[in-house]
């Protein structure tokens, strides 16, 4: 599968965890063919099926063939939702996508899912979720630089650091180098 969207689901189970949901898929008493790529709760994010493989989550063949399915657990919902916002923003960022690539299960099949994002009949929870993902995506993209470019600039700063005679200047060069490391997702030194 070459995904082009991410579809958001709710587990519709107020007490289940990501581990429980993952376990249900391989439970011998489960006779449903439904599946998904990831499940998120207040503690865990579990990959169930690689995002390059088709999962049966949207109730629509196009959605199944083109979308990454993410289940959000309803137990400890606020924290599960917070984890999902960060996880989904990272997936969007890694692919260079925007929130326009997000779909509800409802968009594919008309099912009231994710149901907790439609608690007022107007999907205001869905709009709030997309806004939160957008804010996190913006935060992730604020500092975007390749490690190679950052390290080249740090090398030049290193020369200036070596030529500097006062401690304040050396500290400032070190601070700037660490900002570049953060911007390129490297560890500070």
Same-domain status, 102 and 153: no
Residue 188 lies in a domain: no
* pLDDT, position 174: 92
Same-domain status, 86 and 151: no
Strands (DSSP E) found in the chain: 5-10, 38-40, 45-47, 67-72, 102-104
Residue 137 lies in a domain: yes
Q: Is the dihedral of CA 172, 175, 177, 183 positive or negative?
A: negative
CATH number at residue 29: 3.40.80.10
* pLDDT, position 152: 93
* Model confidence pLDDT, tens digit, residues 86-109: 999 999 998 989 999 999 999 999
Averaged pLDDT, groups of 10, the chain, 189 residues long: 97 95 90 92 97 93 95 97 97 93 97 94 96 94 82 92 92 91 81
Same-domain status, 83 and 101: yes
Q: Domain count of the chain?
A: 2
* pLDDT, position 143: 65
Whole-angstrom distance, CA of residue 141 vs CA of residue 153: 19
Same-domain status, 77 and 157: no
Same-domain status, 135 and 164: no
* Model confidence pLDDT, tens digit, residues 53-84: 999 999 889 999 999 999 999 999 999 999 99
* pLDDT, position 33: 83
Same-domain status, 26 and 101: yes
Residue 59 lies in a domain: yes
Same-domain status, 35 and 91: yes
Same-domain status, 33 and 82: yes
Residue 95 lies in a domain: yes
Structural domain harbouring 23: 5-142
Same-domain status, 97 and 171: no
- Indicate the pTM of the whole model: 0.77
Same-domain status, 87 and 36: yes
With helix as H, strand as E and coil as C, how does 86-129 read? Answer: HHHHHHHHHHCCCHHHEEEHHHHHCCCCCHHHHCCCCCHHHHHH
* pLDDT, position 186: 82
Structure tokens at 108: 């594919």
Same-domain status, 28 and 56: yes
Same-domain status, 35 and 127: yes
């Amino acid at each position: 599968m070459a995904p082009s969207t991410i579809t958001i689901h709710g587990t519709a189970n107020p007490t289940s965890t990501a581990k429980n949901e993952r376990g249900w898929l391989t439970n011998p008493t489960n006779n449903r063919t439904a599946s998904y790529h990831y499940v998120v709760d207040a503690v865990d994010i579990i990959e169930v099926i690689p995002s390059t493989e088709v999962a049966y989550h949207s109730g629509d063949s196009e959605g199944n063939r083109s979308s990454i399915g993410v289940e959000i657990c309803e137990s400890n919902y606020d924290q599960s939702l917070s984890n999902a916002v960060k996880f989904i923003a990272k997936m969007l960022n890694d692919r260079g996508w925007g929130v326009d690539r997000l779909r509800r299960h409802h968009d594919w099949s008309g099912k009231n899912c994710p149901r907790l994002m439609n608690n007022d009949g107007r999907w205001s929870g869905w709009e709030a979720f997309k806004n939160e993902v957008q804010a996190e995506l913006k935060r992730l993209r604020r500092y975007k630089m390749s490690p190679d470019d950052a390290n080249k600039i740090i090398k030049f700063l290193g020369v200036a650091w070596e030529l500097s005679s006062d401690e304040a200047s050396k500290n400032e060069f070190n601070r700037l180098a660490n900002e570049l490391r953060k911007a390129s997702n490297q560890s500070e030194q």
